[in-house]
Chain A
Amino acid sequence: MNHSLEISNLKKVFSDFKAVDGIDFHVEEGSFFSILGPSGCGKTTLLRMIAGFLEPSSGSIKIRGDEMIGISPNKRPVNLVFQNLALFPMMDVGENVAFGLKRQDFSKSEINEKVTSILEKVQLGGYERKNVSDLSGGQKQRVAIARSLVLEPSILLLDEPLGALDLKLREQMKIQLKKLQNEFGTTFIYITHDQSEALVMSDKVAVMNNGKFEQIDTPQNLYSNPKTSFVASFVGETNKFKAKLTSERTNVKTKEGIDFKVNLIDQNIKEDCFLFVRPEAIAMMVEEDMEDMNYFDLKIKTILFDGSNTKVLASMNESEHEIMVSLPQNRQFSHIEKGKIVRAGVHVSDCKCYE
């Protein structure tokens, strides 16, 4: 497999603050790679170093095998779609898209041809003479992507470009971005703090925290087999318990005093740990007939109706600690109401412990 981007031991230190603290990874040619992390984790610093706006303190950045350190942004084969898009307001759509092409040796007719064809590909055919300010949020988005993609970069960097859009549009744009990436075959590196954006679109996701990558994996693996406690709590919704390992290391006792049978992923973790259980892993109204299950009583506190994503807040056994449980879509549980107590269970493999 060819590596579009190879980064080794990259560091960026601002006076006394380590924004990016020794990162190693590579991105395969033509893949959709996301960097997911909370704000302030250093993901924008990392992106700006790849784009060339920041010089790394140490380390190397190779694009298709060529070292990029010391090369200015206008000479790098990467393009960045800015968070605020940065479409030039004094130019129309066509001029915006043609801006990068005009900086290279293309004839006027070639430029026009390329602009027309890329605008058609992002479904904005015939928009050349429109004013940028007359476009809708989603259209601006596509112009910004077209402006970068028309230069046929080795890598397209996207810095939370969906952040400013409303929810509906964001959902549509997620699908469109993924389609565009498939169509062009360009390597996309996408930065976001929104785990659903990262999970939906990416081939691989890197979860970043405090200037380091916690885990680089496929979205499926990230969700079902998180490697660290940070990944487990940051990616997807989950119930977190403070817990203590029992001496046999097959059970934990949570702070609330509930026993869980667990499978340890890392056998060497300390006694003090955190237990994570996904809301959808908890099954309600179960028969107590299986070995590998943890069973407990749930007292329904609140029903959080959200269409297909309806959840229940419930307290476990006698404790006050509330957990979240997903309601399956069949109407089987439509009679569940506040105050009811139901028996629930969760499989051992869904109870994950981290330090």
Chain B
Amino acid sequence: MSNHSKIGFYIFFVPIFLWLFLLIVLPHIELFLMSLKYEDDMGNMAWSLQNYKEFFKEEIYWLTFIRVALYSILVTFLTFVITFPIAFYITKIVSVKYKGFLIILLLMPFWVSELVRVYGWMILLRESGVINYFLQSLGFIDKPIEMLYNDVSMIMGLVYTSMLFMVVPLISSLDGMDDSYIEAAHDLGASKIVIFFKIVIPYIAPGIVSGSIVVFMLTLGNYLTPNLMGGKNSLWFTEQIYNQFIASFNWNQGAAFGFLLLVLSSFIIWIGLKVTKQNLTKALS
């Protein structure tokens, strides 16, 4: 390596290294050590696996955990199902003239913070909200219905918040797919369903995987949306972590939960990659 490229290497490497080390690795080491400490009956801190045992002992903890995992998978799947037709329409059907405009239209809501967007949904859905007002004034219902604070509205909110992170990789991988593949398959006798499953899906699989990983992790670690749209019943694992840190002031327990969440998300992604026979580096490149 010449001196010149060495300097270039350090210019790029040092900030990344510092960022990863100071903001990710160091706090996690600290958290990990914290999670292994437990206050015994005498009020002394001692090394122990008690924090992790606590998780498996209390049903509510691991049930929340499983619930969050399953819902996150569901959200990821729903996000794909909803965004795929949009991405396909923008890249393959609409004329090139309107493509950029449509993509901007799609991105625009995401210039606003997640908090504002979630409040938007709340204004629509709450008991005194817009939808209830119209349903009532049109005479469909007598009493306003509470549409917030249930799993359905929470899932909907999570899907909505995640859409951008799925649609962008889908658009870019569909863009890279030559139309002639679809035409060739059609010409060789394939129906539209066969083309979808045998040609389009395998071709854009890396895009689907990278979108899914991001959506899944963001959903699993989302705090705001489940809290606001799911209310007290949302039972999201991040809330358990929050409660441990802030409400119970039990940092050791919270640290253990944080670690379990990390392990869980890594494990599910690993399983997902194995099942779909995809490669992480290929998907993210």
Question: CB of B47 within 8 A of chain A?
Answer: no
A79 lies within 8 A of B188 (CB): yes
What is the predominant secondary structure among interface residues of chain A facing chain B?
A: loop
Q: Using Cβ atoms and an 8 Å threshold, which residues of chain B touch A151?
A: 188-189
Question: CB of A80 within 8 A of chain B?
Answer: yes
A305 to chain B, nearest CB (A): 40
B111 to chain A, nearest CB (A): 36
Query: Quick one: CB contact mask for B143-184 with A, threshold 8 Å, 1 for yes?
Result: 000000000000000000000000000000000001011011
Query: Quick one: CB contact mask for B114-158 with A, threshold 8 Å, 1 for yes?
Result: 000000000000000000000000000000000000000000000
CB contact between A89 and one of B183, B185, B203 (< 8 Å): that residue: B203
B187 lies within 8 A of A88 (CB): no
Complex: how many Å from CA A84 to CA B181?
A: 10
Complex: how many Å from CA A151 to CA B187?
A: 11
Q: Using Cβ atoms and an 8 Å threshold, which residues of chain A touch B186?
A: 53, 72-74
CB nearest neighbor in A for B184: A86
Given contacts A79-B188, A86-B178, A103-B188, 8 further A-B contacts (CB under 8 A): A73-B186, A74-B190, A75-B189, A79-B187, A100-B190, A104-B189, A148-B188, A151-B188
Question: CB of A43 within 8 A of chain B?
Answer: no
Q: Contacts A86-B178, A89-B203; is A99 near B190 (CB within 8 Å)?
A: yes
CB contact between A86 and one of B181, B191, B198 (< 8 Å): that residue: B181
List the 10 closest A-B pairs by CB distance, nearest first.
A100-B188, A86-B184, A103-B189, A86-B180, A90-B202, A74-B189, A82-B180, A73-B186, A80-B187, A73-B187
Q: Using Cβ atoms and an 8 Å threshold, which residues of chain B touch A82?
A: 180, 183-184
Q: Using Cβ atoms and an 8 Å threshold, which residues of chain B touch A84?
A: 178, 180
Question: CB of A222 within 8 A of chain B?
Answer: no
- Interface residue count for A (Cβ, 8 Å)? 24
B191 lies within 8 A of A74 (CB): yes
- 29 example contacts (A-B, Cβ-Cβ < 8 A) are as follows A53-B186, A53-B187, A72-B186, A73-B183, A73-B186, A73-B187, A74-B186, A74-B187, A74-B188, A74-B189, A74-B190, A78-B187, A79-B187, A79-B188, A80-B187, A82-B180, A83-B180, A84-B180, A86-B178, A86-B181, A88-B184, A89-B203, A90-B203, A90-B205, A99-B188, A99-B198, A100-B188, A104-B189, A147-B188
CB nearest neighbor in A for B202: A90
Question: CB of A231 within 8 A of chain B?
Answer: no
Complex: how many Å from CA A82 to CA B187?
A: 10
Q: Using Cβ atoms and an 8 Å threshold, which residues of chain A touch B189?
A: 74-75, 100, 103-104, 151
Complex: how many Å from CA A124 to CA B127?
A: 69
Q: Using Cβ atoms and an 8 Å threshold, which residues of chain B touch A72?
A: 186
A51 lies within 8 A of B190 (CB): no
B181 to chain A, nearest CB (A): 5
Query: Quick one: CB contact mask for A56-86 with B, threshold 8 Å, 1 for yes?
Result: 0000000000000000111100111011101
CB nearest neighbor in A for B192: A74
CB nearest neighbor in A for B203: A90
Q: Using Cβ atoms and an 8 Å threshold, which residues of chain B touch A86?
A: 178, 180-181, 183-184
B231 to chain A, nearest CB (A): 45
Q: Using Cβ atoms and an 8 Å threshold, which residues of chain A touch B187?
A: 51-53, 73-74, 78-80
Complex: how many Å from CA A82 to CA B184?
A: 7
Q: Of A86, A90, A104, which is in contact with the most chain B CB atoms at under 10 Å from its CB? A: A86
Chain A residues 94-110 with CB under 8 Å of chain B are 99-100, 103-104
Q: Using Cβ atoms and an 8 Å threshold, which residues of chain A touch B185?
A: 88, 99
Complex: how many Å from CA A57 to CA B202?
A: 35
A86 to chain B, nearest CB (A): 4
Query: Quick one: CB contact mask for B188-223 with A, threshold 8 Å, 1 for yes?
Result: 111100100011001101000000000000000000
Complex: how many Å from CA A147 to CA B185?
A: 11
Q: Using Cβ atoms and an 8 Å threshold, which residues of chain A touch B180?
A: 82-84, 86
Query: Quick one: CB contact mask for A269-310 with B, threshold 8 Å, 1 for yes?
Result: 000000000000000000000000000000000000000000
Q: Using Cβ atoms and an 8 Å threshold, which residues of chain B touch A148?
A: 188
Complex: how many Å from CA A82 to CA B182?
A: 11
Complex: how many Å from CA A52 to CA B187?
A: 8
Complex: how many Å from CA A55 to CA B223?
A: 53
Q: Using Cβ atoms and an 8 Å threshold, which residues of chain B touch A79?
A: 187-188
B199 lies within 8 A of A88 (CB): yes
A88 lies within 8 A of B194 (CB): no
Q: Using Cβ atoms and an 8 Å threshold, which residues of chain A touch B199?
A: 88
Q: Using Cβ atoms and an 8 Å threshold, which residues of chain B touch A80?
A: 183-184, 187
A243 to chain B, nearest CB (A): 46
Q: Using Cβ atoms and an 8 Å threshold, which residues of chain A touch B181?
A: 86, 88
CB nearest neighbor in A for B190: A103
Complex: how many Å from CA A78 to CA B187?
A: 8
Q: Using Cβ atoms and an 8 Å threshold, which residues of chain A touch B202?
A: 90
B183 lies within 8 A of A53 (CB): yes
CB nearest neighbor in B for A148: B188
Q: Contacts A74-B189, A89-B203; is A103 near B184 (CB within 8 Å)?
A: no
Complex: how many Å from CA A314 to CA B204?
A: 58
Q: Using Cβ atoms and an 8 Å threshold, which residues of chain B touch A51?
A: 187
